[in-house]
Structure 1
Amino acid sequence: MKSEAWMFVSCTVFFALATPAYWFVTAASEHGGDWTGTSALTMCTLLVLMISLYLGFHAKRMDPRPEDRQDGEIADGAGELGFFPPYSWWPLWTALTLSLSVFAVAMAAWWLLIIAAVVGFIALAGWNLEYYRGEFKH
């Protein structure tokens, strides 16, 4: 976990240096600066900083993983890695719900928004409850 934390810290330093440089270069242009790009880089810096702090905070409290130790072997990382869900069709229906919702708002077809809400409720319930029925039931 420490290697990931250092990777994000280096990205934070890069963005922290690139943001004022970008602002300075665009401020010297004839248009007087690009506030959209500067604010996007500032937010990117803050978001990468947040991830860096999170990973650094948890890296101190975790037991070192085999890849974090100098004496770690490949065999030390063997075993179960966790639960990985199988294929699922529910994200497709959730994406359809979002598409219908955006289309309904863009076309001011409020009746379609009601249909999208019903489809969305079914899709969200199905996605949350897919491990309680069917082939992958626990």
Structure 2
Amino acid sequence: MKIQGKMFIWLSVFVLAMAVVYGVWSKEPAGTTALFLAFGLCIMVGFYLGFTARRVDTGAQDNKEADVADDAGEIGFFSPHSWQPLSLAVGGAIAFLGVAVGWWLLYFAAPIIMIGIFGWVFEYYRGENRTQ
């Protein structure tokens, strides 16, 4: 994870340089703002990965002597099937349609998004954690 953090920090330096060059040459505010926002996102991800790399064990990708097989094994738990992303996608689509068509559509999108978020957060609260 250390190397990914360094990659994002170097990418942020490049994006910052390109944002300054683009802003000076083009004098176009939308693209310049987008590049500065991309710089901010790269910095946030880079510092997060660097901070997290200090708290977790060294992975095989950080060891120069490691083989590909050293990183084999279980990566984590992934839900085999879930309907919640579909609910969030439908709610998000209606919300963005509300920006284009009319703000009144947000009254229909908000409950769908909230149901999707609630369902996704509490998807695996079953069994002993369930209230009677």
TM-score of the two chains, using structure 1 as the length reference: 0.71
1:73 matched to 2:70? The reply is: no
User: Alpha carbons of 1:37 and 1:80: their partners in 2 closer, same or farther (altered >3 Å)?
Assistant: same
The RMSD of aligned alpha carbons is 2.6
Change (3 A) 1:87 1:73: same
Change in Cα spacing, 1:10 to 1:122, as seen in structure 2 (3 Å) is: closer
Question: In structure 2, what is the equivalent of residue 98 of structure 1?
Answer: 92
Count of paired positions:
126
- Residues 25 and 90 of structure 1, relative CA distance in 2, 3 Å threshold: same
Report the equivalent of 1:17.
17
The residue type equivalent to 1:86 in the other structure is P
Partner of 2:37: 43
Give the AA of the match of 1:23.
Answer: G
Q: Which residue of 1 aligns with 2:130?
A: none
Map of 1:29 onto structure 2: none
Give the 3 Å change call, closer, same or farther, for CA 63–18 of structure 1 in structure 2. same
Give ranges in structure 1 of 5+ residues lacking alignment. 27-32, 134-138
What is the percent sequence identity of the aligned residues? 39
Partner residue, 1:2: 2
Kindly name which structure, 1 or 2, has the bigger radius of gyration based on alpha carbons.
1
Which residue identity is paired with 2:63? R
User: How far did 1:92 drift?
Assistant: 1.4
Change (3 A) 1:85 1:2: same
Mapped to 1, the partners of 2:93 and 2:107 lie a distance apart of 13
Q: Deviations over 1:94-125 (max 9, x none)?
A: 22223334555765584x65554444444333
Structure 2's unaligned 5+ residue stretches are: 127-132
* Aligned residue in 2 for 1:64: 58
TM-score under structure 2 normalisation?
Answer: 0.73
